Structure 1
Amino acid sequence: MAFADSSSTRMAYVKEVTEGTTPASPAWKTLRYTGEQLQYQKQTTTSNEIRPDRNVSDVIQVGRQVSGSINFELSYATLDDLLEGVLGGTWATNVLKNGVTRHAFSFEKTFEQGATDSFLRYRGCLIGGMSLDITAQQIVTGSVNIMGLGGSAGTTALASATYAAPNANPVLNASSDFASLAIGGVSPSPRIRSLSLQIENNLRAQPEVGNIDLAGIGLGRCVFTGRMEAYFESLALYNAILNHDDIDLAFTVGADTGSKYTVTLPRIKLLNGDPMAGGNDQDVMLPIDFQAIYDASGSPAFGATMSVTRGVS
């Protein structure tokens, strides 16, 4: 048996029809990723029995759950299923908005070990959050956070399982693949050095008596926060912070016509930020934390906090 090599590890996922149950004869989709910390983690507690010899009498397993994250470099059409999971919506005419739909997944890690491989599986997984980091002259990167109900391990693939190869779409960068940035309600429109976005679903574990695994996973509020680092060239953006104005943010990223995403946050609040002269020979930057909030405007009403449009030209 050979030692497992991280560079030969396969990560795959499949949507679940019944939450918590990996489909029979699963049609796995191989996932493009750069690293992962997914684990089926035990919860233990140490016995408090008092012994005259001062020894610990036992460590008791009291629970188990799936948790962890998967890191990625953004490429077109790679994460569309997981975007549905994190936003709680469904693609409709190439538009996805945040909603209340539960999308559960099974994940599988395959470790190549020669004649006998190892398969680690995680079921009943919900996407707890996602981050996206866009920095000048860098690859667009991010991660998804996962919480799941249970796991298992084996030395063979599941019966009749298939594995679809991932797409070969180019990895996107923040230079040539960043098509546009629009910040409405501020003039002149600021120029930025970095932009990050975080989505948090505030999942909560639901343990129960008589079950070592979770009984379920609860959904909390879907919260959108972010941070931008703008070059300080006028008071327009700073005044928008002080005045607590509603502004909007949209950006398009992609390499080819018809294979781009536009992310729209139609109503955001700028929370805090001050320009500072940190020292000699530096640009004065205006770092700003922001939070997106629900927008009911428009006709028809936008009716969400965030939307993603794919297939943009």
Structure 2
Amino acid sequence: MSSGAKQVTRYGVETTVGTAATKWQVLGFTSNSLDAAPQTTESQTIKDTRIAAGTLVTGVEVQGDIETEFAYGTQDELLECVAFNKWAANVLAFGGTTRKTISVVRGFTDVDNYHLFTGCHINQWALSIPDGGIVTSKFSIMGMGRKASAVVPTGTVTAAVDAVQFTSLSLGDILIDGAVKDGMCVSQLDLTIDNSMQIQKCLGKKENNGIGAILETVMKGSGSVTISWSKNTAELYEKQFLNIPIGISYSLADSAGNEYVLALPQVLLSAPLPSGGGGDLLTTQFSFTVKDAAPTLTRVPVVAGGG
């Protein structure tokens, strides 16, 4: 028997894609579904009975989600994997070309069971800000290999970063085309960055379950924002019929003063008219998709002793 409190997740940046890392960072998480699933093919062989010949393993898929509570400075390395870029002057631009892969360890420490996943690419990142609660950050992973062991993989280990999570109260002003719009009360905000990755199978690649590479294609950004109905909201609603993009930016600040600013320079909108009864507060949910310009995440660390 195993306790959920005795789970551990560690990750390490790989020097070579698919080769296990040797330096590990403990990651705080709320759930981890990263797993390997055998792909089977049914044998069509006919023997001297009517009994089916069974199935053969013809491949293995490694994928799953690691869900976390978002906090300043705890996931900057993982976000580089999502962005295919490095932080430059505290700015991270999504949609780059610099590949960065990780190894991930899932451990069940009370039963000495560990699973090492290698060649892990982060295909998607989803950031969700509720109207009341903790901001969540989810990483969707596609990997190349898995090995099980009764002992934890070797290497140096850095403890989980102790940071205060962002909540709905951490959200600053939401800017539409660089300004706060009167009457537009936002009650929910979600963003997904999708690298649209595909697995390239190659014969002879036994060590990676027949996977030659995991390749990124078009980077897509999408999300939704729920806004109270107002005159300014109605003007925003009209933009979808003319295919006019808008810019959205917003910030998250922790209690120490550290801040992230997320900017979506151009997004296209889609939304229905609001619907509700006489006792309802009218809102509508805008879906949006990123157009042309790269989304950016800017970190603004608090300056010790600054005025």
Asked if TM exceeds 0.5, the reply is yes
Quick one: which of 284, 295, 298 aligns to 1:306?
295
Aligned partner of 2:216 in structure 1 is 219
Residue type of the alignment partner of 1:245? I
The answer (yes or no) to whether the contact 2:9–2:107 under 8 Å persists in 1 is yes
CA contact (8 A) 2:173 2:180 kept: no
Instruction: State the distance in 2 between where 1:311 and 1:196 align.
Output: 21
Matched residue, 2:174: 181
Give distance in 1, aligned partners of 2:6 and 2:87.
Answer: 32
Separation of aligned partners in 2, 1:8 and 1:312: 33
Aligned-partner Cα distance in 1 for 2:122–2:239:
33
Alignment TM-score, normalising by the size of structure 2: 0.91
Residue 241 of structure 1: aligned partner: 240
The alpha-carbon deviation at position 287 of structure 1 amounts to 1.0
> Among residues 98, 102, 107, which one is paired with 1:105 in the alignment?
102
Q: What is the correspondence of 1:1-313 to structure 2 with a 5 Å cutoff?
A: 3-23=1-21, 26-51=22-47, 53-98=49-94, 99-113=96-110, 117-159=112-154, 161-175=155-169, 177-184=170-177, 188-189=181-182, 190-212=184-206, 213=209, 214-234=211-231, 235-256=234-255, 258-270=257-269, 272-295=270-293, 305-312=294-301
Which residue identity does 2:266 align to in structure 1? R
Mapped to 2, the partners of 1:56 and 1:249 lie a distance apart of 58
Q: Residue 188 of structure 1 contacts residue 236 of structure 1 at CA under 8 Å; is this kept in 2? A: no
| Letter of the 1:148 counterpart | G
Within 2, Cα distance between the matches of 1:13 and 1:292? Answer: 29
Counterpart of 1:70 in 2: which secondary structure?
A: strand
The Cα shift of 1:267 comes to 1.0
Query: In terms of mean alpha carbon deviation, does 118-127 or 204-213 score higher?
Result: 204-213
Quote the Cα distance in structure 2 between the aligned partners of 1:276 and 1:193. Answer: 14
What CA deviation, in whole Å up to 9, does each residue of 1:68-123 have, x standing for no partner? 11011111111111110111110111111021111100000111225xx1111000
Provide closer, same or farther for how the CA distance between residues 186 and 311 of structure 1 changes in structure 2, counting only shifts above 3 A: closer
Query: If each structure's helix is expressed as a fraction of its own residues, which one has the higher value?
Result: 2
* Secondary structure in 1 matching 2:217: coil
Q: Is the 8 A contact 1:43 1:64 kept in 2?
A: yes
Unaligned runs of 5+ residues in structure 2 are 303-307
Mapped contact 1:180–1:253 kept (Cα < 8 A) = no
Instruction: State the Cα deviation string for residues 23-56 of structure 1 (Å, max 9, x = none).
Output: 3xx1210001100110022111111223453211
Q: Is the 8 A contact 2:166 2:254 kept in 1?
A: yes
Distance 1:187 1:19, change over 3 A: closer
Equivalent residues of 2:82, 2:124 under 8 A apart:
yes
Q: Distance in 1 between matches of 2:118 and 2:147?
A: 9
The aligned residue for residue 305 of structure 2 is none
How far did residue 244 of structure 1 move? Answer: 2.0
Task: Work out the number of aligned pairs and report it.
Answer: 295
Q: Check the 8 A contact 2:116/2:153 in 1, yes or no.
A: no
Q: TM-score, normalised by structure 1?
A: 0.89
SS at match of 1:113: helix
**Amino acid of the structure 1 residue aligned with 2:102:** F
Contact 1:185 1:246 in 2 (8 A): no
Distance in 2, Cα, partners of 1:37 & 1:280: 43
Kindly state the Cα deviation for residue 62 of structure 1 after the two structures are TM-superposed: 0.5
Percentage of matched positions with identical amino acids: 26
Deviation at 1:258, TM superposition (A): 4.7
Aligned mates of 2:178, 2:161 — CA distance in 1: 38
The secondary structure found in structure 2 opposite 1:82 is helix
